[in-house]
Amino acid sequence: MEQRLKGLSVEEAQARVVSGVVRRTRKTTSSAAKTSTPAPPPILPPKKETVEIVDILDEDSDEEESSLIRKRKGTASTAGKEKSPPAKKAKHDQPQSAFALVGQQVEGSSVQVQECLQFCYVNHLSHVVSFNNLLNLCLKIKQPEKVPQLISEMKKKQVPLNVHTYSFWIQSYQLVGDLAGVERVFHEAQEDSFVKDDWVIHSNVASVFIEFGQFEKALLHLEKLKNVLNNSDNPSRNAFQHLISLYAGAGKLDSVIQTWNTLKSKFKVHYKQSYLSLLQALSRLDDIKGLENYFREWESTCKKYDDRVPAVVIGAYLKQEMYYARHMSNS
C-alpha cells in the first residue's frame, strides 16, 4: 500500500486511503448480508399488569372517603400494602346488640324497670323478644303491676304479641290474684289468630283457676285444651304430660287415665318423663293401686333404669304411712 501512495501529495494520499476503507466496508457488509440470516428481535419481559382493587365500603361509615365504591389501582406487589376499609361501627340500636343488653339486665335483676323502659326508648327497641325480656324482669323483681304498662307500650309500637307475651301477662294477674284480668287476657288471646290454638295459653289459664280452687272454670279450659290436642296434626308429648298433671290438680282420676291412653295411642315410644308425669299424678290422687300397676309397666319396658321413677312410688307409700318400700324394691 505504501508503494501505491508514493509520488502522491498528502491530500491525494489521504483521499485514496479513505476511499479504500469505504469500499472494503461495503464489501464486508454485502457479503455478510448474503450469508447470514437476520437476528430475531430480543424477547422483552412482559410488563407487570396493574390490578384493580375495588373496596365496597359500609354505607354507614362516616369517613371522608365513604363513597359506596372506591377504586384504587396499583401493582400486584404493592396491592397488599393498601389499607383495609374501616371496620363497621357497633350500634346499640341494632337488634342483636339490643337483645343482648336487655338480656344482661334481666339476668342481673338489679336495675329498675323504669331504667329498662328508658333503654327501650333511647334505642328504639321494637321487637317482641326485647319486650318479653322486660316482662320477665318485672315478674322476677316482684313488680307484676308493670306488665300491663309494657303490654300497652307494645301495642302503641304495634309490636305483635306472641305466646310468651300472653303467658307473662297471665302470670302477672295471677300474682296479684286478679282472675278477671286472667280471663280478659285469655279472651284477647282467642282473637289473635297466631296464638288462639296454642296449648300453652289454655294450660296456663287452667293452672291459675286450679290454684285458686275454681275447678269448674279450670275444667272448661282443660276440655278446650284436650280438643286442641286431639285435633292437632302435630301433637306435643309435653302438652299431654301437662294435661295429665292439670287433671290431677283438678282431682279428675278418670280424665288422667283417659289422657294417658290417648298419649300412648299417639306416640309409639313412651319415655320415662311421660311415666313420671303419670305416676306423680296418681300419687297426688292417692291411687296406690294404679301407681303400682303403671310402675311395673314402666319397669318391664324401660331400657335404662331411672331412680326418679321408683322414688315417686316410695314417696306415695311414705305419704300414706305404708312402709313396705322394701317389698316394692324387691318385686
The series of mean pLDDT values per 10 residues for the chain, 331 residues long, is 52 56 50 49 46 36 37 41 43 45 51 60 70 88 91 91 96 96 95 91 96 95 93 89 96 96 86 92 95 93 89 89 56 59
3-state class (DSSP) for residue 3: helix
Alpha helices in the chain (DSSP H): 2-5, 10-35, 76-79, 95-108, 113-123, 128-140, 147-156, 163-175, 179-190, 199-211, 215-230, 237-249, 253-266, 272-284, 288-301, 308-319, 325-330
- Give domain status of residue 291, yes or no: yes
Residue 328 lies in a domain: yes
Q: How far apart are CA 149 and CA 57, in angstroms?
A: 42
- Please report the pLDDT score of residue 200 as a whole number: 94
Question: What spatial distance separates the first Cα and last Cα of the chain, rounded to whole Å?
Answer: 142
Burial (CB < 10 A; 0-12, 13-18, 19+), residue 85, is: middle
226 in any annotated domain? no
| Residue-level pLDDT at 327 | 56
In a domain, 294, yes or no: yes
Global confidence as pTM: 0.64
The pLDDT of residue 71: 39
Q: What are phi and psi of 127, to 5 degrees?
A: -125, 145
Closest CA to 242 of 167, 160, 192: 167
CA distances to 56, 88, 147, 294 from 168, rounded to whole Å, are: 45, 37, 8, 35
Q: How many domains does the chain have?
A: 1
**Domain-embedded: residue 318:** yes
Q: What is the pLDDT of residue 47?
A: 46
pLDDT of res. 270:
73
What's residue 172's pLDDT? 96
Task: Find cell 292439670 and name the residue.
Answer: 246
Give the pLDDT score at 197. 85
CA distance 175 to 202: 18
Note whether residue 26 is domain-resident: no
Question: In terms of residue numbers, what domain contains 312?
Answer: 269-331
In 3D, which of 286, 295, 288, 284 has the Cα closest to residue 329?
295
The pLDDT value recorded for residue 324 is: 54
290/279 Cα distance (integer angstroms) = 8
User: What does the pLDDT read at residue 293?
Assistant: 95
Query: Does residue 227 sit within a domain?
Result: no
Is residue 278, in this structure, part of any structural domain at all? yes
